[in-house]
Chain A
């Protein structure tokens, strides 16, 4: 979202796909949101302008933040070094989600974003695993979009992944499965900097890979549900998928895609950074120099973002007053139906 080609040309291609292939409904976008310390100065402009396109043209967006990815990679390297030094449980080789499974043998030089990109690659692999492998509860992309997006504009699905790595000594991993379910809802395992437990869930998908029983999944959902806030009309808003083939290097894994109101904080953050530049009109002339770019585009985009944030806030306030939004059911009168 921060750069020029990705955010600009990328969202143009998205619009093009929408126009040229209207019958293909599912346009999934994996968007990398810039961190606060992004080296591209104008990233807030690019992001807000792109955000508007994403909200209008994409079916579902999987946002990912560089900062969160960095923290996850740091966590993994801490576990690696800690394991090596104190001679305690080292990480199993090739099991971390930041590993490039292709090259576990050779020691080729690592490029700066490799580890973080591998995390996102694993995210995409897990999301498409049901379409590529067999399982007792298959989910394809259509089903993900159908079940997770109740309102057309609210289509931001926050990804969370667990486990981050496997420890070598299997015996010392008590209750791994339940821990995995706990982890995937914790702040540290989300791929954006957000805490879904603080926000309101509109819906949530759990994509499980590997040797996990349906009964385990149901048991864990039952266990964790009370600590999560769901909208009143979707209190059982879970979509489950079970693929029998585990990812490389791990016995099983879990990907959660949450449509949660906490994404509004990410947008609010972007708006703040945008305004910091916009209020000084900094770097604006570079954009204006391009033919077809108007100042109104900036105005409209930031307004779009702000109204979007307020839509999420409105949903949250509904959580505390469910009665106002529900209409009483149809009643049957003797002989004919009447709407009460």
Chain B
């Protein structure tokens, strides 16, 4: 199974570069604690999944398409990959212009989108055809800016139209609540309303949460975007690297079957333990019970960071269903009891479908045992509620609407997008 990654905008491209580096580092890791044949199976499956020319171990090409409205970031990511010298981006798999989208969703969706459609689809087709078996598409983008959000939403729609049977997963990044871009809430509402229609699953990461992980658990004094991107890439790697369930290899189909069984509930959140800085790596060991208990607590407290919450306060986060990916010794036989409390799942989900377990005995990224929880639950509701609230406040004052109108996005479009989001928030709040 192969995954084609489409990196859109500054955020998407930066995360993509980190993701491929993380995966390649995992592939070439020495301490894996499995037999060499098991290791070979894993590494060749992983190479096949993310890179081309798996026979050439020395310089594989990422299965990626890079899209941006200005060239600086794409060029920089390519040269960073080349400097690392372990893998590279395919020549010609890039699309960029010189104009930028000016943080304007309408500019990205209604103007750049149609212009870029032919070329980007051609690049995607090239990657898709180079796959023996296409597992699906992974789109990386932010919600705040103009290119990632607007052009990203448009490309997702194009993929849905042209690859009707392919699985499409979007990894989106929500900006800091107190602002990076003034119109970020508009852009978020507009993007999510489209993705909810066109994508199969949307994994929502928040800069604020990633920042907390870096600042508290990883002890970075000055948290920069590169640290946060690295955390997110680490989580995505833990999700997408080869794993098995019930004796057979896991695919994106399995993921969607496990998590997105109802079309009204497509938004996912990701949590990963253990969270240790590189310096403490060799000193930390965890048992499965302790890891799972921590995950369960983080999940209930809606916290991506494994810190800063009270153990005494009871809380109940309602989930539709969850996926647990465990990597390390005895991961296939671990006891998922902490996460299987029937009361924390919705009543209409049969008990056998509430929690799925994927596992692999090999160490991931130097961690003896690690666990990832990909959750379809009410965690996303509070973020969306906040965003819709602020966006609606701006909308009722008619602020910035002329900027969107000049590219063809009218008030009706806004109202429709708000309606979709309100429905999503309502659905999740009433789980």
Binding site for B on A (CB under 8 A): 25, 134, 136-138, 140, 142-143, 145-152, 203, 213-215, 218, 221-222, 231-234, 236-240, 325-327, 329-332, 337
Contact of A145 among B102, B392, B418, B419 (CB under 8 A): B102
B422 adjacent to A330 (CB under 8 Å): yes
Q: Does B403 contact A (CB under 8 A)?
A: yes
- Give the CA-CA distance A227 to B380 in the complex, in Å: 33
Q: Does B291 contact A (CB under 8 A)?
A: no
A239 adjacent to B102 (CB under 8 Å): no
Contact of A233 among B104, B180, B396 (CB under 8 A): B396
Contact of B419 among A136, A142, A147, A337 (CB under 8 A): A337
With CB as the reference atom, state the residue of chain A lying closest to B185.
Answer: A236
Q: Which residues of B lie under 8 Å from residue A337 when comparing CB positions?
A: 419, 422-423
B104 adjacent to A150 (CB under 8 Å): no
Nearest CB of A to B78, in Å: 15
A234 adjacent to B422 (CB under 8 Å): no
Q: Which residues of B lie under 8 Å from residue A233 when comparing CB positions?
A: 390, 393-394, 396-397, 399
Q: Does B224 contact A (CB under 8 A)?
A: yes
Q: Does B179 contact A (CB under 8 A)?
A: yes
Q: Is the interface of A mostly helix, strand, loop or mixed?
A: mixed
Known: A142-B104, A233-B396. A203 touches B406 (CB 8 A): no
- Give the CA-CA distance A145 to B392 in the complex, in Å: 21
B182 adjacent to A239 (CB under 8 Å): yes
A234 adjacent to B419 (CB under 8 Å): no
Contact of A238 among B182, B224, B415, B426 (CB under 8 A): B182
Q: Which residues of B lie under 8 Å from residue A203 when comparing CB positions?
A: 182
- Give the CA-CA distance A233 to B399 in the complex, in Å: 8
Q: Does B366 contact A (CB under 8 A)?
A: no
B182 adjacent to A325 (CB under 8 Å): no
- Give the CA-CA distance A233 to B401 in the complex, in Å: 13
Q: Which residues of A lie under 8 Å from residue B392 when comparing CB positions?
A: 327, 329-330
Known: A233-B399, A325-B396, A327-B396. A146 touches B224 (CB 8 A): no
Q: Is the interface of B mostly helix, strand, loop or mixed?
A: loop
Known: A147-B183, A234-B182. A326 touches B426 (CB 8 A): no
A332 adjacent to B181 (CB under 8 Å): no
With CB as the reference atom, state the residue of chain B lying closest to A154.
Answer: B399
- Give the CA-CA distance A147 to B100 in the complex, in Å: 14
B179 adjacent to A146 (CB under 8 Å): no
Binding site for A on B (CB under 8 A): 10, 70, 72, 76, 100-104, 146, 176-183, 222-225, 388-390, 392-394, 396-400, 402-403, 406, 415, 418-419, 422-423, 426
- Give the CA-CA distance A237 to B399 in the complex, in Å: 12
A240 adjacent to B72 (CB under 8 Å): no
18 A-B pairs with CB atoms under 8 Å apart are: A138-B10, A138-B72, A140-B102, A143-B103, A146-B103, A146-B104, A146-B146, A151-B399, A152-B402, A213-B222, A222-B178, A233-B396, A239-B182, A327-B392, A329-B388, A329-B389, A330-B419, A331-B422
Contact of A236 among B70, B179, B388, B419 (CB under 8 A): B179
- Give the CA-CA distance A152 to B401 in the complex, in Å: 9
With CB as the reference atom, state the residue of chain A lying closest to B226.
Answer: A136
Nearest CB of A to B199, in Å: 21
Q: Which residues of B lie under 8 Å from residue A142 when comparing CB positions?
A: 100-104
Q: Which residues of A lie under 8 Å from residue B146 when comparing CB positions?
A: 143, 146
The 4 closest A-B pairs by CB, nearest first: A142-B102, A150-B399, A236-B179, A332-B426
A147 adjacent to B103 (CB under 8 Å): yes
- Give the CA-CA distance A150 to B404 in the complex, in Å: 11
Nearest CB of B to A322, in Å: 9
B418 adjacent to A330 (CB under 8 Å): yes
Q: Which residues of B lie under 8 Å from residue A331 when comparing CB positions?
A: 422
A25 adjacent to B406 (CB under 8 Å): yes
B102 adjacent to A232 (CB under 8 Å): no
- Give the CA-CA distance A287 to B331 in the complex, in Å: 87
Nearest CB of B to A180, in Å: 18
- Give the CA-CA distance A238 to B400 in the complex, in Å: 14
Q: Which residues of A lie under 8 Å from residue B397 when comparing CB positions?
A: 150, 231, 233, 325-326
Q: Which residues of A lie under 8 Å from residue B104 when comparing CB positions?
A: 142, 146
A236 adjacent to B100 (CB under 8 Å): no
- Give the CA-CA distance A151 to B399 in the complex, in Å: 6
- Give the CA-CA distance A332 to B423 in the complex, in Å: 6
Known: A25-B406, A140-B100, A329-B388. A236 touches B181 (CB 8 A): no
